[in-house]
Structure 1
Amino acid sequence: MAIKITKKIKGYSVQKPEDKAKETQAAPATDLPLSDEMVERESASNIIQMHEKVERPEALVGATYKIKSPLVEHAMYVTINDIVLNPGTPHELRRPFEVFINSKNMDHFQWVVAITRIMSAVFRKGGDVTFLVDELKAVFDPRGGYFKAGGVYMPSIVAEIGSVIEEHLKFIGMIVDPELSDAQRALIAEKRAAYENKSKKKTDSNQLSGDLAGAGAEGASRADEAASEAGEAVSFPASASMCHKCNTKALVLMDGCQTCLNCGYSKCG
């Protein structure tokens, strides 16, 4: 093959047969065992990261989540499929690859298809895709939001889809949820027990005070049952208000201070 020389030649040397013999003798020296640092560097260079050129395998692992909103008649099913990168190695990762949303309700078909295609494209591009959670959870419905089971407030259906994405990313390890310490858990359990005992004593005193108080207690119990059937406050009192920190209807007044029975938040510190 001809090589075109574009610069001025400043020097040259003639390769002799003995030079080739020296190169062949020095070649086996490269087969020596590599150090741990060199092995780690070589293995790191072979790590497969998520990007657009990663081809979809024939089969993917995933999970399906159900969304039942009072704003729509039929439930929505969100399926998120993941791709496993570097399987069988210390660098094994599970990353979201595609998302599908299925429902009998065809009213929102256009934006559902659009949002699934956009999210799937972002997933396949790779990088930090956790920003999708904040963007989706910040969407508000002009008609108003709703409380799902457990008393958690959802400002819109799109926000609940974002909550599902967040739950899945926590499941595969992309989002690390800061866990409560043992002291915080003990404090929350103590606050809940104190509030329940206080409510029980108040109910007993109302029942002993007369028929009117008994009718009021019966009405309160019916309200609790109705709230439980609606899925608005399954594990928290019906009179609880929404906590702005965890968006859960679990904020109650205790000792003159608003305290959340879900995350432990208190206005009194």
Structure 2
Amino acid sequence: MAIKINKKIKGYSVQKPEDKAKEAAPAAAPVARAEPDSNIIQMHEKVERPDVLVGSTYKIKSPLVEHAMYVTINDIVLNPGTEHELRRPFEVFINSKNMDHFQWIVALTRIMSAVFRKGGDVTFLVDEMKAVFDPRGGYFKAGGVYMPSIVAEIGSVVEEHLKSIGMIVDPELGEEQKRLIAEKRAAYEARAKGKSKAGPEPGSNESVAVTGEGTSFPPSATMCSKCNTKATVIMDGCATCLNCGYSKCG
């Protein structure tokens, strides 16, 4: 087809097939970058269970039951070997020799497993389970942490597991708060040593020695309303927690 040119020709160039490919490349580039994202697998109910799952087992020894409970949470690894690799809970089992709670344990684990497979934010289970209390009363587990019920301790185990796989991020104490807790603990230990040298006060049989090491707390400590740990002591007329640093005096 002939094209008539009415204007003066100022310049010209020969277009090659390679030039056409270069012009089309920028338009196709964004599509090529977005294509891998479409292959990212997110957790949903249609994800099939693989033959092998990675799991962890936690032991619960409550004074409310005779035998210990063993909570096993199995995780599925999504997008393995890529930068989008995720580890998400897939199923949970609870095993115990105690058959008194068999029915509700089976029901609880099946519901929890169904929620895990559904995907999305499953961390709400932790808050719901930790809010369950036993009308007969709770108990203190090792470390002085108060548990209002067995279900609450199972929720605490789930929380610990979700933290280990990165679904729950536990805010760390700041350097200033850590220093304050260390100072309070050192001051309390120094005061306790001073009292032990001077002898117990008349009519007082309470021990003021700090038991254990590391995360142990005085036997006279009371429960902290913030972290639910039996670590609150009276210092300078003010209740102060030696675990999280919370103080009613600010």
TM-score range for the pair, normalised by the shorter chain length = 0.7 to 0.9
Picking from 244, 248, 258, the partner of 2:229 is: 248
Picking from 72, 80, 84, the partner of 1:79 is: 72
Matches within 5 A, 1:104-143: 104-143=97-136
TM-score by length of 2: 0.85
- Label 1:154 to 1:88 Cα distance change in 2 as closer, same or farther (>3 A): same
Paired amino acid for 2:133: F
In 1, are the aligned partners of 2:207 and 2:220 still within 8 Å (CA)? Answer: no
In structure 2, list runs of 5 or more residues that go unmatched.
1-16
Instruction: Kindly provide the CA deviation profile for residues 96-139 of structure 1, in whole angstroms up to 9, marking residues without a partner as x.
Output: 00000000000000000000000000000000000000000000
Q: CA deviation at 1:42?
A: 1.4
Picking from 41, 60, 63, the partner of 1:70 is: 63
Q: Which structure features the higher share of helix residues?
A: 1
Q: Secondary structure at the match of 1:220?
A: coil
Aligned counterparts of 1:144 and 1:39: Cα–Cα separation in 2: 60
Aligned counterparts of 1:105 and 1:202: Cα–Cα separation in 2: 46
Structure 2 equivalent of residue 199 of structure 1 = 192
Structure 2 equivalent of residue 237 of structure 1 = 218
Q: CA deviation at 1:39?
A: 4.1
Aligned counterparts of 2:136 and 2:33: Cα–Cα separation in 1: 56
Q: Secondary structure at the match of 1:135?
A: helix
Instruction: Kindly provide the CA deviation profile for residues 139-186 of structure 1, in whole angstroms up to 9, marking residues without a partner as x.
Output: 000000000000000000000000000000000000000000111111
Q: CA deviation at 1:44?
A: 1.4
Structure 1 equivalent of residue 168 of structure 2 = 175
Q: CA deviation at 1:40?
A: 3.8
Q: CA deviation at 1:38?
A: 3.7
May I ask how many residue pairs the two structures share in their alignment? 228
Structure 1 equivalent of residue 7 of structure 2 = none
The structure 1 segments of at least 4 consecutive aligned residues displaced by more than 4 Å after TM superposition are 28-34
Q: Secondary structure at the match of 2:245?
A: coil
Q: Secondary structure at the match of 2:153?
A: helix
Please say if 1:61 is aligned against 2:48.
no
Matches within 5 A, 1:145-184: 145-184=138-177
Aligned counterparts of 1:139 and 1:57: Cα–Cα separation in 2: 33
In structure 1, list runs of 5 or more residues that go unmatched.
1-24, 229-233
Q: Secondary structure at the match of 2:106?
A: helix
Instruction: Kindly provide the CA deviation profile for residues 244-266 of structure 1, in whole angstroms up to 9, marking residues without a partner as x.
Output: 10000001111111100000001
TM-score by length of 1: 0.79
Q: CA deviation at 1:75?
A: 0.2
- Label 1:44 to 1:236 Cα distance change in 2 as closer, same or farther (>3 A): same
- Label 1:260 to 1:88 Cα distance change in 2 as closer, same or farther (>3 A): same
In 1, are the aligned partners of 2:94 and 2:109 still within 8 Å (CA)? Answer: yes
Calculate percent identity across the aligned residue pairs. 76
Structure 2 equivalent of residue 220 of structure 1 = 207
- Label 1:268 to 1:39 Cα distance change in 2 as closer, same or farther (>3 A): farther
Picking from 80, 87, 96, the partner of 1:94 is: 87
Paired amino acid for 1:83: I
